[in-house]
Structure 1
């Protein structure tokens, strides 16, 4: 049929009926599995729906089983966008040149960790700037080995304040895998103390998962930068010029109270790679990242 039409009209028709390459490719994202997996799936599917509408592209969320797996998926281009912690974001951006931190929660530049203890230890809340000496000799659980708030920064503060490595400080050291599990193992008494993201603690308290007669917060760390959205540097080639800017703006415009509560964040603000230089330097000082 097209051979009977003028060439220009034929080209126009082909253009109209053939979807652009970008539309045929979904934007795929993931997130570090820092809390209960079912809750993560629910919250990030809602984010996928929001982004799909805002960007007019198909958006898919894929869960991962570990912090390391989120970095691997980003490196291998299985995902183009990720909600990373501070440390996993640094790892990912080093592995994928040109990738960028583009947004963070309003609370993320001043993030904190809570050291928690089973009530049977008798430990009381400690208001000092330094980690409490009373932690020495206890059994202690971190979260994931790659967690900023559940391992990296708390370990740094413990070493700095108490002058010893975790293996020297504690009778036994464990890694639960995520914040929800850390709360569970300390609450049960499997570990006497542990460290969690303050936001994860607030989430678990709000959901009714914390028994305050069995576990309590005993110390709050100094602040540090943490979570952020990081995007691969080649997304504009995949989805069209200016896509990164549109994606960043969609994240900054996310204002639905239910979506924000699921993070939980009060909103999102711009971020850039240099915001996480402190995390890079701490990770290098602990030997957790190549120089």
Structure 2
């Protein structure tokens, strides 16, 4: 396994999606939105594990990826305490690989090269339906509290006071599949007085970090971003909070989903889940980076991602490789 294998381009994803044989028609009685590679006999909206034991995966080395970020090397160090805990609990070697895009991360799990992954909020449904990802955990606090908000920031001295004031401006969205960086604004902003691409110019920055830093630098007039990213950037001193002003924020959304490949051996899958739920954030780099988080909380895709599926449905999103690539 090499890092460049994880960094597969979206074009390769399109080819792999077209070349893998589907289930025979009578092999699956319920599939829902899942790709033809997967089946959902129990109706929980995620891929079932293979019923044929020979198709179950029990790799010697587990590959773990976190959602694409501005500085992957920093996050590799941040995740190291958890990786050590995961190795101890599973008895497996664990490799961290930095992915460069949502498409590459989804494709890596679909092709069997990625076993455990954190997918951002918006791309999670694509990972579920195109790659057989099974969300089971989310970062949260004691009592089960979790979530983040879509926030709109502008320069501190800007004349933008409301979302409606974005009309005629140059606004940074992050990427097509991002929830707070694109999908939620497109679904929620019309009620606030503006429609993206119609009333203001949308420019894709590539990440929440770049959107906010672009606002600070004056490259963009404003940007919708995820509150959790903004908070982490402020804590690391990546920008001066006095340079920006909060214009508007939404109700909370779920954060990054932590998922397993659907075909992992059931015993291994359970050991991985146990490792997540027994990890103690206190005193670790992970706990310091994700302020306010103290544990992984059990979730289901069907329940916790219902609001995200609703937003994406309102935007006409289709869970296809083309949809993931924003085409």
TM-score where L is the length of structure 2: 0.72
CA contact (8 A) 2:173 2:224 kept: yes
Report 1:26-65 matches (<5 A): 26-65=61-100
Q: Does 1:262 align with 2:323?
A: no
Q: CA deviation at 1:185?
A: 0.5
Q: In structure 2, which of residues 249, 261, 264 is the aligned counterpart of residue 220 of structure 1?
A: 249
| Aligned equivalents of 1:61, 1:149: Cα separation in 2 | 26
1:288 counterpart SS class: coil
Query: Which whole-Å CA distance do the structure 1 matches of 2:67 and 2:214 have between them?
Result: 20
Residue 178 of structure 2 is aligned to residue 152 of structure 1: no
List structure 1 runs of 4+ shifted beyond 3 angstroms: 107-110
Task: Note if contact 1:28-1:81 (Cα within 8 Å) is conserved in structure 2.
Answer: yes
Q: In the aligned structure 1, how far is the partner of 2:224 from the partner of 2:261? A: 31
Match of 2:28 in 1: none
Q: Which runs of 5 or more residues in structure 1 are unaligned?
A: 1-20, 127-131
Quick one: distance in 2 between partners of 1:45 and 1:143?
A: 27
SS in 1 for 2:160: coil
Whether 1:175 aligns to 2:209 is no
- Structure 2: how far apart are the matches of 1:145 and 1:40? 23
2-structure distance, mates of 1:165, 1:138: 12
**1:160 Cα deviation from its structure 2 partner:** 3.7
- Is 1:250 aligned with 2:275? yes
Question: Is 1:273 matched with 2:301?
Answer: yes
Distance across 2 between alignment mates of 1:109 and 1:202: 15
**How far apart are the structure 1 equivalents of 2:109 and 2:247?**
36
Cα deviation code 1:257-291 (max 9, x no counterpart):
22233344332110112121221232132122249
Deviations 1:155-177 (A, max 9, x none): 22113432x5311121x211111
Shift in alpha-carbon separation, 1:232–1:91, aligned structure 2, 3 A: same
Residue range with higher mean Cα deviation, 86-95 or 152-161 = 152-161
TM, length-normalised to structure 1: 0.81
Where structure 2 has 5 or more consecutive residues not aligned to the other structure, the ranges are 1-56, 321-327
CA deviation after TM superposition for structure 1 residue 109, in Å: 4.8
Equivalent pair of 2:139/2:255 in contact (CA under 8 Å): no
SS in 2 for 1:120: coil
User: How far off its partner does 1:54 sit?
Assistant: 2.1
SS in 2 for 1:45: helix
For the 8 Å contact 1:116–1:195, the answer to whether it is kept is yes
User: Distance between the aligned counterparts of 1:83 and 1:215, measured in 2?
Assistant: 29
Distance 1:266 1:136, change over 3 A: farther
RMSD: 2.2
Higher helix share: 1
Render the CA deviation track for 1:143-163: whole Å, top value 9, x for unaligned: 12222222222322113432x
Contact 2:126 2:319 in 1 (8 A): no
Which of 184, 189, 196 is matched with 1:166 structurally? Answer: 196
Structure 2 residue 148 is the aligned partner of structure 1 residue 111 = yes
Counterpart secondary structure, 1:110? coil
C-alpha displacement at 1:208, in angstroms? 1.1
In structure 2, the partner of 1:133 is 164
